[in-house]
Amino acid sequence: MRALIELLKVSSLLTVQDSGRPGYRKLGVPVSGFMDDYSARIANYLAGNPGNTPLLEFLLTGPTIRFNASAVFAVAGEVDVKLNGVPIEPWGSYWAKRGDVLEVGTLRSDLYGYIAFAGGVKCERLLGSCSAYPKANLGRPLKAGDRLSLGYAILAGREGRYLPPELRPDYSGNKREIRVVFGPNLEHFTEEGIETFLSSEYTVTPESDRMGYRLDGPAIEHSKAGADIVTEPLTPGAVQVPANGKPIVMMRDAQTTGGYAKIATVVSADLHLLAQSRPGTGVRFRAVGVEEAQEILRRREKTIEAIKSFLEGKMRAYKVKISGKEFTAFAGKVK
């Protein structure tokens, strides 16, 4: 394969990710994939790709890349971006020619950023996915000097897309409200423990990673059943509470089974909000029912599809004010 981009500088964790490898958890293989699927999918749409196309995910600080052939790229994240030393806006798609150098700086508020290329990053698909999970030798972190190939794509018409600020995900601020569905091991917690979980603010700790986010705050009280359970399946979003009473939220690289009682599961539509929470961010949990969680996900998916149509020029976006609050409305049809 012809190398189309070369990594000149890599300052932090940089991996190839796509939507992950579902269907292998029964074999002990985590799903992995985009930590923030919302931003990653938009990055792909900006580059004219399907949402699950492999791209580069960076932690906090982006890489410096040299193009060895023409390409169209997009950077998702609130970050300073330069092409040949000239500042350009993130959340837009640009044409790079051979010899051009892309510099991606440090994210201002979010934790994970994305760089998508028209045609996607080419790589060996392991168990149906390009997502790196180095702990099982499924891919590896990228380093300076690595050269990557891109998939074939007709570049004309892919550059010049732009997502205005009002349509971008907002990860500013140091507080998050994360919605959860209770269970499945509520009998392992007292009523006081459940109330503590819902009424307290927890802080994301530096020990957090792609496998799980460890939170610090008031201890959640277990019932006489204790903190341990017979090992059972574990899924991204599950909130485990070990004996110390401090919750651990499973993330995209979570192991497939666990032996700590689970008080709740983060709704799928909010997992990206937690993923983009830096150490020190305050987190509060709010309980919702299963049907409400499903409706929240449906609304989010409709929004993402509307953004895709907007970027493709099939819909228009308008600002509307209702009861003094501003909202974004789309005009047109989502396929």
Summarize pLDDT for 166-221 with one digit per residue, the tens: 999 999 989 999 999 999 999 999 999 999 999 999 999 999 999 999 999 999 99
Contact 179, 272 (CB under 8 A): no
pTM value? 0.92
Bridge partners (DSSP) listed for residue 162: 92
Q: Which of 246, 255, 244 is nearest to 212 (CA)?
A: 255
Q: Which fold has domain 175-288?
A: Cyclophilin (2.40.100)
- What does the alpha-carbon distance between residue 227 and residue 158 come to, in Å, rounded to a whole number? 52
**According to the model, what pLDDT value does residue 1 have?**
45
Residues 6+ apart with CB under 8 A from 202: 215, 216, 217, 218, 246, 247, 282, 283, 284, 285
**According to the model, what pLDDT value does residue 9 have?**
98
Quick check: helix, strand or coil at residue 18? coil
Residues 6+ apart with CB under 8 A from 303: none
Contact 210, 252 (CB under 8 A): yes
CA distances from 137 to 57, 127, 274 (A): 18, 12, 26
Contact 97, 70 (CB under 8 A): yes
Residue 90 has, within 13 A of its CA and on its CB side, a CA count of 26
Contact 190, 222 (CB under 8 A): yes
- What does the alpha-carbon distance between residue 335 and residue 332 come to, in Å, rounded to a whole number? 10
Residue for token pair 């045609």: 119
- What does the alpha-carbon distance between residue 74 and residue 94 come to, in Å, rounded to a whole number? 6
From first to last of its 335 residues, the chain has per-residue pLDDT tens of 455 899 999 999 999 999 999 999 988 999 999 999 999 999 999 999 999 999 999 999 999 999 999 999 999 999 999 999 999 999 999 999 999 999 999 999 999 999 999 999 999 898 999 999 998 889 999 999 999 999 988 888 899 999 999 999 999 989 999 999 999 999 999 999 999 999 999 999 999 999 999 999 999 999 999 999 999 999 999 999 999 999 999 999 999 999 999 999 999 999 999 999 999 999 999 999 999 999 999 999 999 999 999 998 886 665 544 555 555 555 665 44
Residue 124: Cβ-neighbour burial (10 angstroms; 0-12, 13-18, 19+): exposed
Cα 272–Cα 295–Cα 327 angle in degrees, nearest 5: 70
- Domain-by-domain residue ranges, the chain? 5-167, 175-288, 291-331
Which two three-digit tokens encode residue 169? 């995900």
The Cα diameter of the chain in Å comes to 66
What single-letter DSSP state applies at residue 224?
T
